Structure 1
């Protein structure tokens, strides 16, 4: 038996595992959205009343949460404040959250909320906005420190979509899909 035929099965297992792990991660390049209209302005969109409808899906695609979020946004001394109230149809989670978001430089933001571990960093990319942060996420009787890769895309001046990838060890463990609409 040749050395190649001895190593071939092992090589196939390693390659299969590598491709399998790569399929569990998501990599979005914000630069792809810089020239797409309409431009998403986080301060403009959230300054006022916004209603959002969302789901959380686990790794198997099962919907483990379904919720509505009412967001009362305002700008005070240059800081965007988002006062969020959650109502759950499936599953459970936080009832409220208050975000405080400040622009650091053109297209660069820092955000904080009570249940977020450390600051969230935000970057504007034309039509898209990316927020990255960590959170201690309760699951059953345990809490897990997870990373959120949170993407917003503007549809028009009144509507946008949000897609969050919840990651542990760089692998996507759950996905959140939210549609948001400004309220008059």
Structure 2
């Protein structure tokens, strides 16, 4: 019985991995997504948080200001939720020479690590999220797609213990 359970678990894991997108799939796409160019200056985002069934739990707007000096950047995010709650997150981002990025913020438990290819960025991190008076460490698989010089579409799957608990979708626009 134990062998059967292990075999089924491995088979399901392989199936799930084969269905996920790979950053290399976007290598030949344009425009080239450079965080240090796109997230430089003022931006505005509109988004929503959904539970695992797709029900919208919250809507929000985000005023962002990004700045870069060399390979190090700061992205200040000021969230306003539909219920009036406000939240601030300040990302500290560093770019490596090979298109990889790392990012930290005060509520990021496991630093973000990611990479760009073509018009896409994928990065993963763990965020401390308040849920009904408690703090849950939620894993984010965050995908950003630069549609043109002004717009990025962002979709992040949230998981806890490997199970999907929700999704965040954002529409980000640069003020050019």
Question: CA–CA distance in 2 between the matches of 1:128 and 1:82?
Answer: 18
Q: In the alignment, which residue of structure 1 is the partner of 2:137? A: 145
Q: 2:34 aligns with which of 41, 53, 57?
A: 41
Q: In the alignment, which residue of structure 1 is the partner of 2:49? A: 56
Partner secondary structure for residue 82 of structure 2: strand
Give the 5 Å matches for 1:10-49.
27-49=20-42
Question: CA–CA distance in 1 between the matches of 2:70 and 2:151?
Answer: 26
C-alpha distance after superposition, 1:59-87 (max 9, x if no partner): 12111110000101111353110011111
Partner secondary structure for residue 144 of structure 2: strand
Q: 1:117 aligns with which of 98, 109, 121?
A: 109
Partner secondary structure for residue 31 of structure 1: helix
C-alpha distance after superposition, 1:24-69 (max 9, x if no partner): xx72211111111111111100000010000000012111110000
Question: CA–CA distance in 1 between the matches of 2:135 and 2:110?
Answer: 16
Do the aligned partners of 1:52 and 1:179 also contact (CA within 8 Å) in 2? yes
TM-score, structure 2 length as denominator? 0.86
Cα offset for 1:168?
Answer: 1.1
Aligned length: 167
Question: CA–CA distance in 2 between the matches of 1:159 and 1:144?
Answer: 31
Question: CA–CA distance in 1 between the matches of 2:41 and 2:92?
Answer: 15
CA distance 1:78–1:105, shift in 2 (3 Å): closer
Do the aligned partners of 2:71 and 2:96 also contact (CA within 8 Å) in 1? no
Deviating 4+ runs (over 4 angstroms): none
Partner secondary structure for residue 98 of structure 1: strand
Cα offset for 1:142?
Answer: 2.1
Cα offset for 1:90?
Answer: 4.5
TM-score, structure 1 length as denominator? 0.82
Q: In the alignment, which residue of structure 2 is the partner of 1:136? A: 128
Q: 2:79 aligns with which of 65, 82, 86?
A: 86
Q: Who wins on radius of gyration, i.e. which is larger?
A: 1
Gaps (5+ residues) in structure 1? 1-10
Over the aligned positions, Cα root-mean-square deviation in angstroms equals 2.4
